[in-house]
Structure 1
Amino acid sequence: MLINLRGNATQRQNATDALKMPDENRDDVLKQFVWLASESLGIPGGFISVIDDSHQFIRAAHNIALCQTTREDAFCRYVVDSGEVMVVTDTLLDPRFTTHPLVVGPPRIRFYAGAPLKNREGVILGTLCVTDRVPHRFPRKKIRMLETLARLAMTFLETWHSAGFTDVATGLPNRQRLIRHLRLLSTAEQRAPLRLTLIDCIDMPRAYELARALGMAPVEALLRDIGGLLRERLELAPEDILYTVATGRYAILASAEGRFSAQNVVDKLRYVSARPEDGVAMDLSIHAGEVCFDPTELPAQEALRRAVSALHEAINLHVGARSFNELSDARRNGDFRLMNDLAAALQTGTGGLYLVYQPKVSLPSGRPVGLEALIRWRHPEHGELSPAGFLPVAQFTNLMNSLTDWVVGETIRQLKIWSDTPCLLPVSVNVSVSDLSRSDFTDTLEARMAQAGLSTSLLGIECLETEKATENPAALANMEGLRQQGFRISLDDFGAGYSNIGYLRQMPIDVIKLDRALVSGLTIDPGSRIIAASVIRMLKDLNYVVVAEGVEDRETLMVLEAYGCDQVQGFYFSRPLPPAELEKWLQQQPQSADPDILPLTGNNLTLSDDAHDPGLYN
């Protein structure tokens, strides 16, 4: 607010700077004050001015062409210096103004009356004035009215500044105030590199739970306490401004050579807890991001964006501090634009998304027994994108459910096309735990299959993120519901990372897919062979169908066959194919059930770049 200025030169200068800067909404209201003063006092011209050590700035004017003067030429400096109303009934009769440039030249002021704009502490920040080109009498009644209008104008300015530049919860200068400060510095003659450091202090989900349980009062007390705690622990001087730029997020703007680097801030705030009186204590989770820049070269909003980018990188990497990095920032910006393109592609259906299908071959019969639907994206600008290039990013957005819905829809559409042909085989699709957690997922899937006139046995569900699924009751319930409706449930990537045998009995699944990382080492690593043999034997004893993916050569195939694996898929047989190519491939497969023919049915393709495609949808 425009208070706490007495005895604080820095705060006063910041307040003056804020008033000097143009603000369309504020200045429109100030113009109404000037018009009201002119009309009620019967004086045709007027203005509101702000004065600093060197200049007078006209923030609102009525019937007077004046924008800025030197302080020496300002009538209003006498009002500011004295703190009292000044009335000059005829400037040509006042020795101070007989040769004044604004009297003998435009706008040729002959009458002037000005009242100081005082805040509640008595600090004067400007004036409200009325002027004319002819002399006037100005009785005591009009002086009192001018003083009243000046007080009202100052009350408005305090309210404007409080609402627009002060964070309600903490009472600290807010993000708008920081932006305004940066813009002022961008016009400064002295070029001095600055460092903007953002500090993230609170685990916001926990804070929201606190607000939900106890209301906002304890949270606001916590935020106020953190502000004081930061000033104390960082040893901020009175002239050092601490900003609140978001809930639980603070900023310090200082010299680039100063001590407020992101790392120093984190070091000083380690193991800090906020414990407001009559509130709830909370251990602070401190992350900091910084950007060093020249304010005359980098716009204010861009400086803040870069600091936010650095802070989010620290949070995402689970490290304390990070400086802005252009390469990392460009990559994240590219990911963001890519997700916008993906959202548009899902919405319009014309963005280059399509499905390919990889066959699953039965080892006992040697014949194709199913397909896996895999998503691809032919981006309008970037060309063919590997799923690994966009799916990992999509996981951190709200697009995954929409992406799954699109894949399911396209799969059902293709199954409908194949329904009266020899190409009809069950097709499995990959789904995440967030998909399985949707309350309507089972009913919607069943309804879509019924509407297409297809048996639910034609659509398989491959569950990703197994560990998360076991901890999610809604996902487990949906899996059981899908299984009861006739959908076949597969567990994907078994044998990779976290693979707890115990969770198999918790999950309603029919098929276990061995991870390609386990399969790829069968011909070269004795340990992989021992593990694979034991795992396959155990899974068969538990009555699961075992599928091995990533089979790329005859030797691997023969090992899997010897271990009793049920089905295989991989480049030895076929890469993932679009529907037309898949139909041709299926027509070329032998009808014999003799497993001895099996190795001859593989395409023995030269592996392309996507042979080892990672990602949720391979």
Structure 2
Amino acid sequence: MNEEARLDALHQLNLLDTDPSEAFDRVTRMAAQLFDLPIAAVSLTDRDRQWFKSRVGVSHSSIPRHKAPCAQVAESSSLLVIPDLLADPCYRDSPLAQSGVRFYAGAPLITSDGYALGAMCVLGTEPRQASSSEFASLADLGAMVMAQIELQHAFGRVDPLSRMPNRIQFIEDLEDLARDQPERDLRLSTLVDLASPEQLSDVVRVMGASYLDELIAEAARLIRSAIGVERKAYHVGATQFAFLAPPGFSAIGYSALLAKRLKSLRKLSNSRFMASAVIGVAPFMLGWSHPRDVLRMAHSAAQDARRLENKVGIYSSTQDAAHQRRFTLINDFAEALRSTDQLRLVYQPRVDLSSGACVGAEALLRWKHPKLGEISPGEFVPVIEQTSMTKAATTWVIDAALKQILTWREAGLDLQVSVNVSAANLQEPDFADRVLDALARHSLTASCIELEVTETGVMADAVQALAVLEALAGAGIRLAIDDFGTGYSSLSYLQRLPAHVVKIDQSFVRDLATNERQRALILAMTSLSHDLGYRVVAEGVETKDVLALVEVAGCDEAQGYLFARPMTPQDFLAWCRESEFAPSSLKAPPLSEPSILDSF
């Protein structure tokens, strides 16, 4: 993937197979003169070739990439010096060595995004060494070539709409400032964000792109006026502007000043859309923080400001760490789905209150990250449910649960397993078909599994969700309404749900012994559910007192730590065999392997 991204960066610049350029040839000639060598080139590493944008002492415009030293420079993004190609085991039989080249030195051409496009290289026909000053000169020449590339082929340094210097210029200016002021002072970076992505989408949809252009031009004028002509502001994103605070300000004091200025800007602005602007302030040590990190921290502070009354936020490393962890979990979950040892299911029993026997198990997903260790489902499940990986995650859980049902049946345990389904799954038109296909692949009937959905999940798109649920119920799959009482479904939809079970959320159950109002609520919810034809499960039963109260309320089943915590499949089987709540479906394991005659 990194190589594909590098190639994409190269191809976007439209450099390959272009005409010679004096701007590049001037640098190449300088390289040959400085090193007193006959050959120098600006070499770009394509998928299968080294193409020369500029060359001295070379007649051909490209050579194969295989065993070309410039390819190694591009792949490693680092300086490469080979004193003698014939003495190097990697390159002694390369086309360069066979053509008479003995010495090679190349400096990477690295874009502002960190991709190495190729090399500024010099070559000689005699073995030689290179001094540290020559290394530095070659690196400088490579930087000159890269600067020329970006000047000619990138987006430039000034945004054509706002006429402000752009993000690339901000990064370079901050790097220059760090070099000019090596004392590493504490500075404040400020980012003004005019609108969230959702607001941008809405305004373009309703008002058109020209309205957004007017907004940006107006905001640029107001920001330039607010900070003064002696200071520099940058257009660093579609609707984002950045600038540095004057030296000596504290983050708190400067944020208070910005809040007043923002209030004034809103009054001056002719656009009501300016009311959505927020500001982020990021303290950083000049020369220690990379300019891209400075922008990222200011952006993070601006997003946090959307929740604040004055709309000005100061960068918080704690909140930033939480956002980065969330991003890490999203990125790494795809690998977890492919791995064989990261994801697993644990099972918690459901006990029938009239018979006292276990009648089912809820499958709960767990994730052991290879670096972060155990990740709480309360942390990663909500994150994954907001991504496209929800479909793959639910597929994985259902498949693992069905496999476990078969394994338990071989051991003599026949129980229904419940699996949680997210709101996103109910918006998939083929979800019901995929569940039925999974049952067919494992040769299992629909009655072996129960799907748990939340009220909120159903109400996200009630019409589509009801259609999916009706298809599942019509196929014989039991449905349960999970976390009952915490959602916002109306009774008109609740009575239409083709569900069989209502699971009262543990927030209503846990403190039942000491909370009289909760007892009244449990009684009312149980009565209502029974009237609608649902079987009622009380979640979060942790004490015998609470168990007695849910029995009095008329609940049909209970689930919670009083019976057992979620267990591994092996521990669950052992619990079923040893517990007082052993299921009536549990059969003793066969004493010996069955004979083929047993089938007749």
Partner of 1:568: 558
| 2:521 maps to amino acid | I
Contact 2:358 2:583 in 1 (8 A): no
Aligned counterparts, 1:118-157, within 5 A:
none
Structure 2: unaligned runs, 5 residues or longer: 1-14, 31-53, 57-147, 585-600
| 1:509 aligned onto 2:499 | yes
Contact 1:513 1:546 in 2 (8 A): yes
TM superposition shift of 1:250: 1.5
Change (3 A) 1:593 1:312: closer
Aligned counterparts, 1:304-343, within 5 A:
304-315=295-306, 320-343=311-334
Partner of 2:71: none
Contact 1:459 1:487 in 2 (8 A): yes
1:221 is paired with a residue whose SS is helix
1:164 is paired with a residue whose SS is coil
TM superposition shift of 1:342: 2.8
TM superposition shift of 1:374: 0.5
Partner of 2:266: 272
| 1:562 maps to amino acid | V
Contact 2:259 2:311 in 1 (8 A): yes
| 1:438 aligned onto 2:428 | yes
| 1:549 aligned onto 2:539 | yes
Paired with 1:281 and 1:528, the residues of 2 have a C-alpha distance of 46
Q: Give the alignment partner of residue 363 of structure 1, picking from 349, 353, 357.
A: 353
| 1:179 maps to amino acid | I
Partner of 2:176: 184
Paired with 2:471 and 2:178, the residues of 1 have a C-alpha distance of 62
The alignment covers a number of residue pairs equal to 451
1:390 is paired with a residue whose SS is helix
| 1:272 maps to amino acid | R
Change (3 A) 1:593 1:439: closer
Q: Give the alignment partner of residue 391 of structure 1, picking from 359, 381, 385.
A: 381
Change (3 A) 1:502 1:274: farther
TM superposition shift of 1:425: 1.4
Q: Give the alignment partner of residue 227 of structure 1, picking from 220, 225, 242.
A: 220
Superimposed CA distance per residue, residues 232-280 of structure 1 (whole angstroms, 9 cap, x where no aligned partner): 4xx231232221211112112232435993453344334839988xxx9
Change (3 A) 1:382 1:236: closer
Aligned counterparts, 1:34-45, within 5 A:
34=26
| 2:324 maps to amino acid | N
Contact 1:203 1:284 in 2 (8 A): no
Paired with 2:267 and 2:386, the residues of 1 have a C-alpha distance of 30
Paired with 2:387 and 2:415, the residues of 1 have a C-alpha distance of 33
TM superposition shift of 1:500: 5.2
Partner of 1:375: 365
Q: Give the alignment partner of residue 290 of structure 1, picking from 275, 281, 287.
A: 281
TM superposition shift of 1:62: 12
Change (3 A) 1:542 1:472: closer
1:360 is paired with a residue whose SS is strand
| 1:492 aligned onto 2:482 | yes
TM superposition shift of 1:582: 1.3
| 1:324 maps to amino acid | Y
| 2:354 maps to amino acid | P
Partner of 2:338: 347
Change (3 A) 1:35 1:179: closer
| 1:237 maps to amino acid | G
| 2:317 maps to amino acid | E
Superimposed CA distance per residue, residues 186-235 of structure 1 (whole angstroms, 9 cap, x where no aligned partner): 11137454211111111322422444566533333332233224334xx2
| 1:473 aligned onto 2:466 | no
| 1:365 maps to amino acid | S
| 2:399 maps to amino acid | G
Partner of 1:170: 162
TM superposition shift of 1:592: 9.6
Change (3 A) 1:230 1:464: farther
Paired with 2:316 and 2:469, the residues of 1 have a C-alpha distance of 43
Paired with 1:344 and 1:470, the residues of 2 have a C-alpha distance of 29
Paired with 2:371 and 2:266, the residues of 1 have a C-alpha distance of 48
Change (3 A) 1:62 1:476: closer
Structure 1: unaligned runs, 5 residues or longer: 1-23, 39-60, 64-155, 595-618
| 2:289 maps to amino acid | L
Change (3 A) 1:420 1:526: same
Question: Is 469-478 or 554-563 further displaced after alignment?
Answer: 469-478
Find the structure with the greater CA-based Rg.
1
TM superposition shift of 1:522: 1.8
Change (3 A) 1:238 1:531: same
| 1:413 aligned onto 2:403 | yes
Q: Give the alignment partner of residue 450 of structure 1, picking from 440, 444, 459.
A: 440
| 2:196 maps to amino acid | D
TM-score calculated relative to the size of structure 1: 0.65
Paired with 2:385 and 2:257, the residues of 1 have a C-alpha distance of 33
| 1:301 aligned onto 2:292 | yes
| 1:208 aligned onto 2:198 | no
Superimposed CA distance per residue, residues 358-399 of structure 1 (whole angstroms, 9 cap, x where no aligned partner): 111111222222111011223334443432343344345444
Change (3 A) 1:325 1:159: closer
Partner of 1:461: 451
Superimposed CA distance per residue, residues 525-549 of structure 1 (whole angstroms, 9 cap, x where no aligned partner): 2222122112211211121111101
1:250 is paired with a residue whose SS is strand
Superimposed CA distance per residue, residues 469-497 of structure 1 (whole angstroms, 9 cap, x where no aligned partner): 25443223222222222222211112336
- Computed over aligned residues only, the root mean square deviation of the Cα atoms, in angstroms, reads 3.7
Question: Is 334-343 or 357-366 further displaced after alignment?
Answer: 334-343
Paired with 1:365 and 1:62, the residues of 2 have a C-alpha distance of 88
TM-score calculated relative to the size of structure 2: 0.67
Contact 2:278 2:305 in 1 (8 A): yes
Superimposed CA distance per residue, residues 101-128 of structure 1 (whole angstroms, 9 cap, x where no aligned partner): xxxxxxxxxxxxxxxxxxxxxxxxxxxx
Paired with 1:218 and 1:423, the residues of 2 have a C-alpha distance of 66
Partner of 2:245: 254
Contact 1:363 1:568 in 2 (8 A): yes
Change (3 A) 1:168 1:436: farther
TM superposition shift of 1:468: 6.2
Contact 1:496 1:518 in 2 (8 A): no
Contact 2:178 2:287 in 1 (8 A): yes
| 1:194 maps to amino acid | R
Aligned counterparts, 1:11-50, within 5 A:
31-32=23-24, 34=26
TM superposition shift of 1:292: 2.0
Paired with 1:211 and 1:472, the residues of 2 have a C-alpha distance of 28
Change (3 A) 1:239 1:399: farther
Superimposed CA distance per residue, residues 35-60 of structure 1 (whole angstroms, 9 cap, x where no aligned partner): 8999xxxxxxxxxxxxxxxxxxxxxx
Aligned counterparts, 1:577-592, within 5 A:
577-588=567-578
| 1:183 maps to amino acid | E
| 2:302 maps to amino acid | L
Paired with 1:218 and 1:257, the residues of 2 have a C-alpha distance of 38
| 1:32 maps to amino acid | F
